[in-house]
């Protein structure tokens, strides 16, 4: 019948209810979480470099760890933060933690205390949490002069002059490594301010979306290592032999990616065939 809608297979695929796609994606993510497949996880050059930078720290040395993210990206970045702090505490490296995001304080407290408790670390001597300071650029610059003056009190309002760890360490000059785990462009800012002005060695953990912007800084050596997205977290967890949420999520990640690739292929083939049919018909 003239003008009747085309009901071919590819036409139906082009008009599939998007809720069906949501359901299939949900299943592709949920099933591997419930029934792990243990797919292999390779190691990338940048994750190896991140691990090596951490591994180069000696017991008793101090690193700065900046929780530069908020709850919206916890799923990607929490595994990196936890793995890095576990690695640091396992090596008896002391940690000065801070956050450049107001919403990052709760995350920092939870992860710091979890990692510290696992390794029997004591607040004030083995690690300290400085809390949130407004204006990240000013914070990064001023920390190069004096951490105690940048943060007159820690997150719990204890004067930083009274904290034993900060009596020995007061600027980048006393810190061999700075780690930022970030969902924004803060890795670049740490490179510009701490790296560029004070020659501070910097490594970063970034969300997958930020990873493409971070790569150029790794390629030039301005960043000594970096982890990109959940995959980066999983690689690092494997490097330190402590599987966490990163490794546990990789099966689901792989299955969802495979499915999306299949969807893209079907969508493109269906689109091309539909267009060819239209030309022949028209």
Partner 1 sequence: MSWDGIGMILAAILTIAIFSLLYRDNPFYRFAEHLLVGVSAGYYVVHYFYSSVIRKFAVPVFGQGDLWLLPGGVLGLLMLFRLGRKVQWVSRYAIAFYVAAWSGYLIPSVIKERIQAQIVGTLPPSPGSAPWIAILGSLLILVGVVSILIYFYFSVEHKGAVGKISQVGITFLMVGFGASFGYTVMGRVSLLIGRFQFLFQDLPQALGW
Nearer of residues 72 and 145 to partner 1, judged by Cβ? 72
Query: Is the separation of the CB atoms in 28 and 259 below 8 Å?
Result: yes
d(CA 261, CA 154): 48
Shortest reach from residue 183's CB to partner 1, in Å: 9
Q: Which is nearer to partner 1, 15 or 125 (CB)?
A: 15
Is the CB of 256 or the CB of 273 nearer to partner 1? 256
- Number of residues assigned to the chain: 282
* Cβ nearer to partner 1, comparing 126 with 251: 251
Closest CB to partner 1 among 25 and 242? 25
Q: Identify which of residues 53 and 232 has a Cβ nearer to partner 1 in the complex.
A: 232
Place of tokens 């995350």: 107
Q: CB within 8 A of 265, min separation 6: which ones?
A: none
Distance, CA of 160 to CA of 158 (rounded, Å): 6
- Alpha-carbon span 63 to 77, nearest angstrom: 18
62/81 with CB nearer partner 1: 81
> Shortest approach of partner 1 to residue 144 CB, angstroms?
12
Q: 43 φ, ψ to 5°?
A: -120, 135
- Beta carbon of residue 279, minimum distance to partner 1 (angstroms, whole number): 26
DSSP secondary structure string, 187-217? HHHHIIIIIIIH---EEEEE-HHHHHHHHHH
Nearest distance, CB of residue 155 and partner 1, angstroms: 11
Contacts of 101 (CB under 8 A, 6+ apart): 67, 68, 69, 70, 132
Least distance from C-beta 261 to partner 1, angstroms?
Answer: 10
Pull the structure tokens for residue 159: 């004067």
What the block records as the tokens of 81 is 């933060």
Alpha helices in the chain (DSSP H): 9-14, 18-34, 45-55, 74-90, 105-118, 136-143, 147-150, 164-168, 186-190, 198, 208-219, 229-239, 245-281
| Binding site residues, partner 1, CB under 8 A | 19, 22, 25-26, 29-30, 33-34, 72-76, 102-103, 105, 132-134, 137, 141, 152-153, 188, 191-193, 195-197, 207-209, 211-212, 216, 219-222, 228-231, 245, 248-249, 252-253, 256-257, 260
> Closest approach of Cβ 33 to partner 1, in Å?
5
CB of 85 to partner 1, least distance (A): 19
């Amino acid at each position: 019948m003239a003008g009747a809608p085309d009901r071919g297979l590819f036409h139906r695929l082009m008009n599939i209810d998007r809720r069906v796609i949501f359901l299939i994606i949900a299943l592709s993510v949920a099933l591997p979480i419930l029934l792990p497949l243990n797919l292999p996880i390779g190691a990338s050059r940048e994750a190896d470099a991140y691990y090596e930078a951490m591994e180069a720290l000696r017991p008793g040395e101090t690193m700065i760890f900046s929780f530069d993210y908020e709850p919206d990206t916890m799923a990607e970045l929490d595994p990196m933060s936890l793995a890095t702090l576990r690695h640091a505490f396992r090596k008896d490296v002391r940690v000065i933690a801070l956050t450049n995001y107001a919403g990052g304080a709760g995350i920092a407290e939870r992860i710091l205390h979890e990692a510290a408790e696992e390794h029997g670390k004591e607040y004030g001597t083995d690690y300290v949490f400085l809390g949130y300071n407004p204006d990240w650029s000013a914070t990064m610059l001023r920390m190069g002069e004096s951490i105690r003056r940048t943060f007159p009190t820690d997150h719990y309002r204890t004067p930083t002059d009274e904290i034993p760890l900060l009596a020995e360490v007061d600027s980048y000059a006393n810190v061999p490594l700075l780690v930022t785990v970030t969902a924004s462009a803060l890795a670049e800012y740490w490179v510009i301010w701490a790296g560029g002005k004070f020659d501070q060695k910097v490594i970063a953990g970034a969300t997958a979306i930020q990873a493409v912007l971070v790569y150029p800084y790794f390629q030039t050596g301005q960043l000594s290592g970096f982890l990109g997205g959940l995959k980066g977290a999983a690689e690092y967890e494997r490097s330190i032999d402590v599987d966490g949420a990163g490794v546990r999520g990789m099966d689901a990640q792989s299955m969802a990616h495979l499915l999306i690739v299949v969807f893209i292929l079907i969508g493109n083939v269906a689109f091309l065939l539909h267009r060819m049919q239209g030309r022949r018909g028209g």
